[in-house]
Amino acid sequence: MSVRTAVVGLGWAGRELWLPRLAGHTGFDVVAVVDPAPGAGAAAPGVPVHPTVDALTPDAVDLAVVAVPNHLHAEVAADLLGRGVNVFLEKPVCLTTAEADLLAAAERVGGATLLSGSAAPHRADVTALARLVPELGRIRHVEAGWVRSRGIPQAGGWFTRRSTAGGGVLVDLGWHLFDTLSALLGPAPFTRAVGTTSNDFVATGTGAAAWRDDDEAAGGPGDVEDTARGFFVRADGVSVSLHACWASHEAVDVTRFQVVGSAGTAELRCTFGFSPNRLPRPELTLTRAGTTTSVPVPEEPVGSEYGRQLDGLAALLADPDRRGRAAAEARTTIGAIHDCYASARTAHQRPAVPAHH
């Protein structure tokens, strides 16, 4: 039986990512869309359109895919969960640890399940990297990076305002990196975090994602970071170096994961996301005892990971052990992000010291 699904929010993610994939998937039946904008129904002809989520009930839908602006994620999802409607929530799942607690409480009250998670761990190349991890011995360190050449989303719109986005590239691309790290090593809390941020491209209004058909943006250049660098230590002792950029001086967008263990190192270079400024193909290597070998990686169409994520979503929805897990993992992620921001603020407050000192 198909999962009766509502899509809540028809911005870029709802309209371009989720609606067409849900409509084309045999396991899902899109029975409603929710968006207050006039003409929102044009994106889903023949599907009932509602201005608010009030029309969504457990009797009418099995799952609501929530893809509203960041600052509304927890509010909208908690409302649905509290009324017994299962939710798949786009990242970032929450913007504070208090919002993570709100979502967990709403699950308990409504008896519904919150699902979340980036599509990135469902990529074929990430899956190939994950298969190498058991061969690396005890994992010591992971380097995770996603550096775009140009790719600031909706420059001047809600995405680049801290009040509505909750942060910049660390909340956006960084969440994918944290989710992929968790998929590779398993979830674990972080005990240490230090980081820096910068906004050279956001501040000048350059580096916008010309390839992304965003809704028309308004306002100034924004007040969030376009670059974040962090160093974290997990409770299991694994150190993590993270680098996320919306825009840079590079020619192409590169995503890189290097996993270092006591018995070897595995490294994946690829390009997450939909930007056309891509590496021609993913590259996966395994290095042991001074010898580096290439590991075959299946090639797949851009965006295939979203369909693969949907393939397993119905089974997750039916698993009672999933309840509470998404909120707990989101609490860990947003906590690490906030710790990185706090460290960056402290660094910015220190007076500059000339290099020769």
pLDDT digits 0-9 by tens, 33-82: 999 998 888 889 999 999 999 999 999 999 999 999 999 999 999 999 99
Query: Domain end: 118, 138, 160, which one?
Result: 118
If asked whether residues 255 and 164 sit together in one domain, one would say yes
Residues 246-263 pLDDT 10s: 999 999 999 999 999 999
Q: Show which of 270, 285, 306 is a domain's final residue.
A: 306
- Examine the domain organization and report whether 15 and 142 are in the same domain: no
Strand-strand pairing, 49-50 and 227-234: unpaired
**Residue 232 and residue 85 share a domain:** no
Calculate helix-pair angle for 73-82, 97-110, nearest 10 degrees.
Answer: 20
153 with 109, same domain: the answer is no
Kindly state whether residues 206 and 152 are assigned to the same domain.
Answer: yes
Domain residues for the domain of 237 are 120-306
Provide the sign of the torsion angle of the four alpha carbons 161, 164, 167, 173, taken in this order. negative
Same-domain pairing of 131 and 79? no
Per-residue confidence band for 210, with pLDDT thresholds at 50, 70 and 90? low
Is the Cα dihedral 125, 146, 254, 236 positive or negative?
A: negative
Note the pTM of the prediction, 2 decimals: 0.93
CB atoms within 10 A of CB 264: 18
Q: Are residues 278 and 165 in the same domain?
A: yes
Q: Examine the domain organization and report whether 197 and 227 are in the same domain.
A: yes
Whole-angstrom distance, CA of residue 87 vs CA of residue 109: 14
- The answer as to whether 253 is a domain residue is yes
Whether 175 is covered by a domain: the verdict is yes
Is 58 within a domain? yes
- The DSSP result for 215-253, as a single string, is PPP-SSS-SS-SEEEEEEEETTS-EEEEEEESS-S-SS-
Q: Which residue, 118, 141, 175, sits at the end of a domain?
A: 118
Asked if 46 and 154 sit in the same domain, the reply is no
Q: Single out the residue of 55, 58, 78 nearest to residue 66, CA to CA.
A: 78
Indicate whether 63 and 170 sit together in one domain.
Answer: no
pLDDT of 351 strictly over 70: no
14 occurs within a structural domain:
yes
Of the pLDDT bands very low, low, confident and very high (cuts 50, 70, 90), residue 156 is low
Helix pair 124-132, 169-185: axis angle to 10 deg: 50
Contacts of 280 (CB under 8 A, 6+ apart): none
Number of domains in the chain: 2
